[in-house]
Amino acid sequence: MDSFSDILKQEMESIEKDQPATPANNQDQSAQEMDEILQYKGLIQQTVQRYWRRPPGARNDMTVVLDIQLLPGGELKSVRIEDSSGNQAFDNSAMLAVQSAGRFSVPPDPKLFDRHFRAFKMRFKPGDLRY
């Protein structure tokens, strides 16, 4: 998974691309939306971390990218490997962590959910995860 600062940077870039230039009075709303996005991304990351078990042989330089799809209530719809680490045990441990969580905290705002949480990618790196 990306570090918190990487997630923040990616989300800021994503929001800037998704939204037209706004007047100053809407900037507070954008900042508030960014805070909400980061809050829920952090909750999702914490949930997955609780279920992840480091497999034997996992090295800190491994990375697997998962494509995750959620339903509006936060229930897992699907998870698949987008980009393998090359180590099947590590890839499977990442998928199993997401599957074991099964349900995630997501924002109640349908537009925010659709833009940022219905489908997203999660990067797993052993060096970034607690185990």
Q: In sequence order, what DSSP letters do the residues of 95-114 get, joined into one string?
A: HHHHHHH-B----S-HHHHH
Structural domains of the chain in order of their starting residue, each with its CATH number: 4-128 (3.30.1150.10)
Using a 10 angstrom Cβ sphere, with 0-12 exposed, 13-18 middle and 19 or more buried, the burial of residue 33 is: buried
- In this prediction, residues 62-76 reach a mean pLDDT of 96
- In this prediction, residues 60-66 reach a mean pLDDT of 91
Of residues 12 and 102, more confidence is placed in 102
Model pLDDT for residues 21-34, shown as the tens digit of each residue: 555 556 666 888 99
Half-sphere exposure of 108 (CA within 13 A, CB side): 0
Model pLDDT for residues 96-107, shown as the tens digit of each residue: 999 999 999 999
Model pLDDT, residue 126: 77
